[in-house]
Amino acid sequence: MALASSPSLSKVYLFLVLLLFMSVSSSYATSRFTHKRDYPTQSQAEKLIRSLNLLPKDSVNIVKGDHVGFVPGKIVEKKFSLFCDSGPSIEDLGHHAGYYSLPHSKAARMFYFFFESRNNKDDPVVIWLTGGPGCGSELALFYENGPFHIANNLSLTWNDYGWDQASNILFVDQPTGTGFSYSSEESDIRHDETGISNDLYDFLQEFFKAHPEFVKNDFYITGESYAGHYVPALASRGFAIGNGLTNPAIQYQAYPDFALDNGIITNAEYDNISKLIPGCEQAAKTCENQGGQSCATALYICQNIFSLILDYAGNINYYDIRKKCVGELCYDFGNVEEFLNQKKVKSALGVRDDLQYVLCSTTVHAAMLQDWMRNMEVGIPSLLEDGIKLLVYAGEEDLICNWLGNSRWAHAMEWSGQKAFGTSSTVKFVVDGVEAGSLNSYGPLSFLKVHGAGHMVPMDQPKVALQMLKSWMGGKLNASFY
């Protein structure tokens, strides 16, 4: 049963926000530590997580023996306020947190936040998925497009450009073992998009049953980074992604060109790196044909392209090439773990006191090793043919999921509008009278390169990102240019 045909949803859209949030998402594909001839290991994922100032006590949320009270398919949800005595009351806020007991599991519980629109409850419902694989949604919630920002003293302030200004937005901790999602059985850890998309599909069906007042609203799926895998997998049942690793074979091949164009490497270094491309291309094809271990091998081979660029580039921030990493820390996202692990916060959210928040799980990350190099673009053309809108956007200063690789796979995608999209005029995307990006569109497909932004567009250009969402959902993206 396709999700689009479900009575729970009135209208579904494909929102491919392709920036690819590979931050912790790519401990393999982002490893700047070495280009040794060995396979990516969990220790490399741990190093990358530490480079973001994340120090989880546990590698995954597994609570042994916790089968008590597990009812498959059940949602337990509560309203909450994180502002304590100094802010709005629970009654004044349409803020919800809950657990969904996954029916296709032994004892897995999926955690989520739901924030009703600050503007109008008739605004679209948006779901946001963070990548990794293995990272919770709270990174986006507190640092990008959620209702709040976290101050250094762990107090919360309102985000003036949160996407709850234009939508009723869901943030989901998935796959099992990430964020506050957990299970009592390690066998509930997912290894591929089938299991992940089934879990999300089941959750969304039950969520709309629990919130029938939003059934009439339009519905969009968005996300980042490895969500470039999650969203197309889910879209095959009816909808969308964001910021994603979607067609790895094409995106890996774009790395040397982007690096050379931006002065990160020299011509001689470019020539040396380019020698690795044919091997990557062949390995990716073998992965598509054979699957299994051949896909892990393809990741190892293709990763050498990115790793060699980083060896040449030195201490560059591969999420934003305008910046350098200070030591191993390119960003400091540690406050979100400290905040969510407070006893009073967990109590407010309905989270068990003995559960540690795991922003990025190395165990979940490693479990998806053979899924990494799969081409998830293949299901998108049929959605475009059905008129389902697709927006691909990318910050122009990002290396790891650079705009060039995303643009190339979007242009290479075979559908009836491919030629017209390829010859479409590039126009300026304007926000408050200022040029904020460049846009190509034809029919349901749009590609937006965002100026002045790295890997995390909603963090680097919050006003632009919110206006992009509003314009796109309102069918006015193409009118926001001159």
CA-based end-to-end distance of the chain:
43
Q: What is the DSSP letter of 481?
A: B
DSSP string for residues in 322-339: TSB-BTTBS---HHHHHH
Q: Which of 101, 105, 225, 361 is catalytic?
A: 225
Phi, psi dihedrals of residue 379, rounded to the nearest 5°:
-90, -5
Active site residue 398: yes
Beta strands 168-172 and 390-395 are: unpaired
Q: Which of 167, 455, 460, 480 is catalytic?
A: 455
Instruction: Determine the Cα–Cα distance for residues 284 and 325; give it in Å rounded to an integer.
Output: 31
Number of residues written out for the chain: 482
Phi, psi dihedrals of residue 441, rounded to the nearest 5°:
-145, 145
Going by C-alpha positions, the residue among 279, 276, 268, 243 that lies closest to residue 454 is 243
Active site residue 58: no
Instruction: Extract the tokens encoding 151.
Output: 């101050």
DSSP string for residues in 6-60: STT-SEEEE----S---TTTTTTTT--S---SS---HHHHHHHHHHTT---SSSS
Residue 278: other Cβ atoms inside 10 A: 10
What residues pair up with 115 in beta bridges, in sequence order?
95, 169
Residue 203: other Cβ atoms inside 10 A: 23
Instruction: Extract the tokens encoding 71.
Output: 């009812």
Phi, psi dihedrals of residue 164, rounded to the nearest 5°:
-75, -5
Active site residue 311: no
Instruction: Extract the tokens encoding 155.
Output: 């107090």
- Backbone φ/ψ region at 283: left (φ over 0), alpha (ψ -120 to 50), beta: alpha
CA atoms within 13 A on the CB side of 429: 25
Q: Which of 188, 202, 320, 398 is catalytic?
A: 398
Beta strands 125-129 and 218-223 are: parallel
Residues labelled catalytic: 225, 398, 455
